[in-house]
Amino acid sequence: MPLALFALTAGAFGIGVTEFVIMGLLLEVGADFGVSIATAGLLISGYALGVVVGAPVLTVLTARWPRKTVLLVLMAVFIAGNAACALAPNYGLLMAARVLTALAHGTFFGVGSVVATGLVPPNRKASAIAVMFTGLTVANILGVPLGTLIGQQFGWRATFSAVTLVGLVAFAVIALFVPKDGRPDDAEDWRADLAAILRAPVLLGLVTTVLGYAGVFAVFTYIAPMLTRISGFGEAAVSPILLVFGGGLVIGNLVGGRLGDRGVLAAVFGTLIALALVLALMTPGLTSPIATVLLVGLLGAAGFATVAPLQMWVLSKVEGAGQSLASSLNIAAFNLGNAIGAWVGGVTIDHGPGLVFVPLVASLFPLAAVVVAFMAATTDRRAAQLCRST
């Protein structure tokens, strides 16, 4: 894998830390601003919705820029947003700063995925995407537990200050190692890009992504209170258990990339079914500390095993024009799933059967994603048959 690919991984690491670290700090943020856990959890939904808005808008606005320039500008937005988070005096301004930070997320991963696949041979494209997304997994192994520990020891603002420094390092690495490029040849007209995406197979692929990841975040958003209030762990145990989750992410991400290289559709179905099974087992498993730790690791593995296959699946449905936009929209779809999952988890806690049943409710999302993926595959086959017949 070329060195430039690992520079993209560094940017993914920074973005991953700021996205995920808030899960381990919900109790501290809620206590500081005097809001409930469910209200603090909306900081995850707000970030996710910022990605949903920012991904298509910024991808269109920057479509004619060199892709390296786009990545550097997005990292600058990321740095500014995290600095604002560290300085936010109240909940409302913290939410606004989180949304600002999120604007860079979708387009970074969307454009980065296209850059990554252009750096390797055709038979390594899914693995290249997985390597870039390894930044997210390493963020969970190192960044999130360390950020949680910093927040618990020195206050949550110190965590966002540290993430700002990570962003500065990522900016420098991308500037040094990602090769210069010219204006993309496939970005002449955003209307043509949009037309390439507004087809049933692509849209169904995006819906599959939304549903699949809603299940992950319905649980992960509230992982800290689950560990402390149901499984009986102390707050000091949250960071080490998040390390287990991060280890699962690394394994799942690399396995998902390998499976995607062998067969994208089979990988999509297999990883979504595995995710549904793990989520369903978590509700009874949370009452056992040992089972909880094991299931948290499996949740990371099953959840991130879906990422590279889903991203590659959507990219495979759009040739040439529209790939950057499709890639960014799929990142937005992941984050729309995050927002929906965090919201559904909060509703389940406040107005439903309660915290312990959140994983069981969450398991319904990847099962629905399997149904939609089947519909998308059927649509693809019918389209192929129609082409052959004509």
Domain boundaries, the chain: 3-178+187-389
pLDDT in tens, 300-342: 999 989 888 887 888 777 765 567 777 778 878 887 888 889 8
> Using CA atoms, how far apart are residues 141 and 348, in angstroms rounded to an integer?
28
Indicate the pLDDT class of residue 97, thresholds 50, 70 and 90: very high
Is pLDDT above 70 for 186? no
Is pLDDT above 60 for 185? no
Tell me what pLDDT residue 65 has: 85
Tell me what pLDDT residue 359 has: 96
Q: Averaged over 109-134, what is the pLDDT? A: 79
Helix axes 264-285, 289-305, angle to 10 degrees: 160
**Tokens of residue 293, six digits:** 């730790």
Q: Averaged over 69-82, what is the pLDDT? A: 93
Mean pLDDT, all residues of the chain: 85
Is pLDDT above 70 for 256? yes
Least confident of 81-85, 147-151, 280-284, 291-295: 147-151
> Using CA atoms, how far apart are residues 36 and 20, in angstroms rounded to an integer?
19
* CB contact at 8 A, 288 and 232: no
> Using CA atoms, how far apart are residues 119 and 136, in angstroms rounded to an integer?
20
Tokens 């997985």 — which residue? 130
What is the longest distance spanned by two Cα atoms in the chain?
67
Rg (CA), the chain: 20
Which three-class secondary structure state does DSSP give residue 318? coil
* CB contact at 8 A, 101 and 81: yes
Least confident of 6-15, 129-138, 348-357: 129-138
Tokens 């992950």 — which residue? 216
Indicate the pLDDT class of residue 161, thresholds 50, 70 and 90: very high
Of 278, 271, 280, 277, give the one whose Cα is nearest residue 253: 271
Any idea which architecture 3-178+187-389 has in CATH?
A: Up-down Bundle (1.20)
* CB contact at 8 A, 368 and 340: no
> Using CA atoms, how far apart are residues 62 and 171, in angstroms rounded to an integer?
18
Q: Averaged over 212-239, what is the pLDDT? A: 88
Tell me what pLDDT residue 320 has: 58
Is pLDDT above 90 for 57? no
pLDDT top residue among 127 and 364: 364
pLDDT in tens, 261-292: 888 889 999 999 999 999 999 999 999 999 99
pLDDT over 90 percentage in the chain: 32
Q: Averaged over 180-189, what is the pLDDT? A: 62
Which three-class secondary structure state does DSSP give residue 231? coil
Alpha-helical regions (H) of the chain: 3-20, 26-33, 37-61, 67-87, 91-117, 125-138, 144-154, 156-177, 190-197, 200-220, 223-229, 238-262, 264-285, 289-305, 307-316, 323-351, 358-362, 364-389
Tell me what pLDDT residue 319 has: 64
CA 245 to chain centre: 14
Q: Is the whole model's pTM more than 0.95, yes or no?
A: no
* CB contact at 8 A, 357 and 210: no
Q: Averaged over 216-237, what is the pLDDT? A: 89
Neighbours of 354 (CB within 10 A): 11
Helix axes 67-87, 156-177, angle to 10 degrees: 170
